[in-house]
Amino acid sequence: NWTMSAYRQKMIDKIREQVGSGRVICGLSGGVDSSVAAVLIHEAIGDQLTCIYVDHGLMRLNESEQVVTMFRDQFNIPLVHVDASRKFLGELEGQSDPETKRKIIGRLFIEVFEEEARKLGGADFLAQGTLYPDVIESVSFTGGPSVTIKSHHNVGGLPERMNMQLVEPLRELFKDEVRALGRELGIPDSFIGRHPFPGPGLAIRCPGGITPEKLDILRQADAIYLDEIRKSGQYDKIWQAFAVLLPVQTVGVMGDGRTYEFVCALRAVTSVDGMTADFYQFDMNFLGKTATRIINEVRGINRVVYDVTSKPPGTIEWE
Ligand code: XMP
C-alpha cells in the first residue's frame, strides 16, 4: 500500500538517521530536483541544512528572486544567495565556443560553491537531487558510483575534496515521482511543472559572445514568449520553450526609419525524456501575435523566426 505521504515519512526517517546532528549543505539550481531534495531535507533536519544558490547571472527574468523568495519566505529554509554574475560574465567575455562556455561555467560554479561552503564553516554532508535515471546513466557510463550527469550541477569531486558525504534522498525516484513528492511537500504546482532549464542557462541561448546587453534583450523576449504560451494554455503541452538571440542583425522598418537589429529565434518542443524531440506545432496566428509583441516591446530585436527542427537531427538547445 504505497503512498507518497508514507514515502515522504520513510525518507525523513532515513535522512535523520544518516545525518544525525551533522551539518548539510545543498546547492540549489532553481530546478525541481534540487528544490524537492532541499525541502524534504529541511523537513527532516530543519536548520541543520543550509542551501547555497549560486546566481550566475544567466537566469531568466525575475527567476532568481522567485527562487530565493520561495525558499526563504515560504519554506523558511536558510539560504545563501551568492550573486556571482560579475565573475561569470567577466570570464565569459569574448568566449563564443559552446563547450568552452560550459566549461567556464562549470568550473566557476564549483569554485564559488566551495568558497561559500567554506565561509559557512564547511559541512559534514552535501545534498544532491540525484534521480534514479541519473544513477543508472552514470553507472552505465563510468562503471563507478553515482555522479550527476548535467555538467553544470556536477559537483563530482567536491564531496571528497571537502570531506563530505552525499545525501541523495531522490535516488530511487523518477522525475514524475519527484514532482508528486514535491506537491506532497507543498511546493506550488507552478514551480513543480516548470520546463527543464539547462545549467549554463541563457549562456547557451545566446550563440556567440555574451554581453549583459544581449542577455537583457533575450530575457525580455523570452518572458513575452512564455507569457503568451501560458496565457494560451499551451505551457503544459510543451516540454521546453525558449527564445534564442541570434548573433545576426537584419534590416527592418519601424515608423519612418530603418532599423538594424538582432534576430530572435523561438523554439518549442515536445518530448518524453529530452533524448528525442519534435518541434511543437503552434498555430500561425499565435506565432504572428507573439512575434509582433516581441518586436514592438523589445528594443534590439526587429525580426522573429520559428525553429522547425526536430531532434535528431537538431538538439533542443542551439548550443
Ligand atoms: P539537447 O540540447 O542536448 O538538450 O538536445 C537535451 C536536454 O538537456 C538540456 N541541456 C543541458 N542541461 N547542462 C544542463 O544542465 C547543459 O549543459 C545542457 N545542455 C542541454 C536541454 O535544455 C534539454 O532539456
| Model pLDDT for residues 58-96, shown as the tens digit of each residue | 999 999 999 999 999 999 999 999 999 999 999 999 999
Ligand 1: nearest atom to the Cα of 277: 5
Whether pLDDT at 144 is above 60 = no
Mean pLDDT, rounded, for 288-303: 98
Q: Which three cell numbers stand for residue 189?
A: 504546482
Number of residues that make up the chain: 319
**194: which DSSP letter?**
P
Mean pLDDT, rounded, for 175-190: 94
Is 232 annotated to bind a ligand? Reply is no
Which protein residues touch ligand 1 with a CB less than 6 Å away? 102, 150-152, 196, 198-200, 240, 274, 311, 315-317
Report pTM.
0.91
Is-contact 270 239, C-beta < 8 A? yes
What does CATH list as the number for 211-306? 3.30.300.10
Buried b (16+ CB within 10 A) or exposed e, 276-310: ebebbebeeeebeebbebbbeebebbbbbeebeeb
The beta strand positions in the chain, using DSSP E, are 24-28, 49-55, 79-83, 125-127, 165-167, 240-254, 257-270, 278-279, 301-306
List every span in the chain annotated with CATH 3.30.300.10. Answer: 211-306
289 alpha carbon – ligand 1 mean position (Å)? 28
Across all residues in the chain, what is the average pLDDT? 92
pLDDT of residue 1: 65
ipTM score for this prediction: 0.99
5 alpha carbon – ligand 1 mean position (Å)? 32
Whether pLDDT at 139 is above 60 = no
Q: Which architecture, in CATH terms, is 4-192?
A: 3-Layer(aba) Sandwich (3.40)
Distance of CA 297 to the CA centre of its chain: 26
List every span in the chain annotated with CATH 3.40.50.620. Answer: 4-192
